[in-house]
Structure 1
Amino acid sequence: MFCLFRLMENYTHNSFTLQLEGLNVSKESKYPLFVFFFFSYLFILVTNVGIVILVFIDKNLHQPMYLLFCNLPLSDVLGNSILVPHLLVDMLRPPSERLISYTNCVAQAFTTHMYGTTTHTILIIMAFDRYVAICNPLRYAAIMTNKMVIKLTASAWGVALVLVGVLLGLTIRLNRCRTMIHSPYCDNASLFKLSCESVFINNVYGLMFTVVLFTASIGSMVVTYTKITEVCLTSKSNSLNSKALQTCSTHLVVFLIVVFSGMSNIVLHRFPQYTDYRKLCTILFHIVPGSLNPVIYGVQSKEIRRFLLKLF
């Protein structure tokens, strides 16, 4: 069967039906893994949608910090809803029936990269909000107006849309001579590897994309938190330091989780012998941050805790 698939790869041209390799798991671990992914997805949906509803229902939460944070659960729901349900169905199918159309594959790759990119850009605009709140508290209301919140939100999604649009645009221009996607889901790398043409430009832009995104993300965190630390060390206000510790710790923990998950994928790409671990890690890159983000903010936010106590 494997030889037949390899033969199909060598003699297909621009096929509109692709095959996903999926996860290589044993029969004993398939169903426990299915249950884990299924309940993880349900948890992501309930908690993230619940947080967004809470923010919009409770007027006490109509603050720039929470309105900007709402972008994060929306991104988590979007990224996981495109990936996990299709993955769950494929896990119950034999390898020969794990098929996906080229159009759906491109859409899945676009959404997957939008999820990863918006996660970083949203955390960047949230860092700016924390910087203004702690370093310029007297001007916070004047700077972080509703119009500014809308501009920051549009910037986070707009920048990601342009970066990912160019990334996928360079890939869909290529002719395809293979049909096998060597991944549990579609992404840009697995798509351009279907081509027998030169993918030099794709590799260069992909590398630039990753370097620019991580440099901007990590750089903004270093700058903002350095300024925040300086203000806290020179300030004698216990309330300011307490507020900074409470709000910044949650943001920083979420950022570290995202960076660690992303770096793990990049590192495992350099070790072909760990292909199965890399596949699992790419899925956890979606599930882990999406599960932990609402928990971290829900536990640390005094306003959200108060609302939940009133509700229940």
Structure 2
Amino acid sequence: MIRYGIVGCGHIARKHVEAITATEGAFLTAVCDQDKTRLSRWSRDGVKGYTDLGMMLREATVDVICICTPSGTHKEMTIQAAQAGKHIIVEKPMALTIADADKMIEVCKNQGVLLSVVHPNRFRPAMEALRHRVVEGAFGTFSHANATVRWNRDQDYFDQAPWRGTRAMDGGVLMNQAIHNLDLLLWMMGDVEEVSAYQATRLREIEVEDVMVSILRFKSGALGVIEAAVTLYPRNLEESLSLFGETGTAVVGGPTANWIKTWQFADLTPEEATEIVQQVGENPYGKPGHQCLIEDMTDAIQRGRQPLITGADGRRVLALVNACQRAALTGQRIRLDELTTGGISG
């Protein structure tokens, strides 16, 4: 039995509780939050509640800590948990700067604990099907790709909690809303070499951008476009990932990227393509992504292997976000190797 503790009992904690409950071999033993009202939601039925992470780490019987607090707190809490010998699942983004991510990875490695970052959309049936086609080489040479997040987060959303929309704790539309889509983009297309970008705060009264557009050049030579916004009226419109190659075109989209919209490949007949689209459409959500992550961490500990989504994966997409932010701030093209090795920390 692998025992889990959760720090941060806000909205996202519910998904972790449900995932742990649904996972064979996993058991929730402790939760932590400074707000006693939020804490009381989960500190019952044998789950002990704490208002201090240090106390939970010292007293509770816990193997894994799930960090579900605002983004700007992830570094310190990860380091604290790792130094206590706990494995860690940290919500996205793993940190707000590459320097912080590097420190988290270093401490976890030195302490011999596993670090996994929450990017659950990789487990969506449509994305698993898309990844399978990429690995098979069904696209041939890629020409370009588009990652699009056209969502609504109104002013009430940002006013719900003081950390939302702040530079120190939220990080902006790429960091907080679009980062899952960007993780998928990198998973499919590989590393980015260079970016340029524009950002703006057009409609929301927040410190960070509410819309950003970026142009990418991948190391493969393929090009890419990122469009991310929380300014859509009156509700979420689209999240999509589109890949274009010499022998394949695929678009996964919908209000959330769960449905195959286009599926055309040189090695598939129209009937074969339609069959795959229909199979995914029968169960577009699949098993909850958080449950897949808890199952993976539980198995990784038991088998002594690395989790499927590691700290390195979280750092990779964070580097892309930091590069886009720096490009928009400076008006210059930013090479990711300069960002990660040249002392620029976002």
Please give the range of the TM-score, normalised by the shorter of the 2 chains.
Answer: under 0.3
Instruction: Calculate the TM-score normalised by the size of structure 2.
Output: 0.23
Instruction: Calculate the TM-score normalised by the size of structure 1.
Output: 0.25
Which structure has greater strand proportion?
2
Q: Which structure's CA Rg is the greater one?
A: 1
Instruction: Identify the structure with bigger relative contact order (alpha carbons < 8 Å, sequence gap 6+).
Output: 1
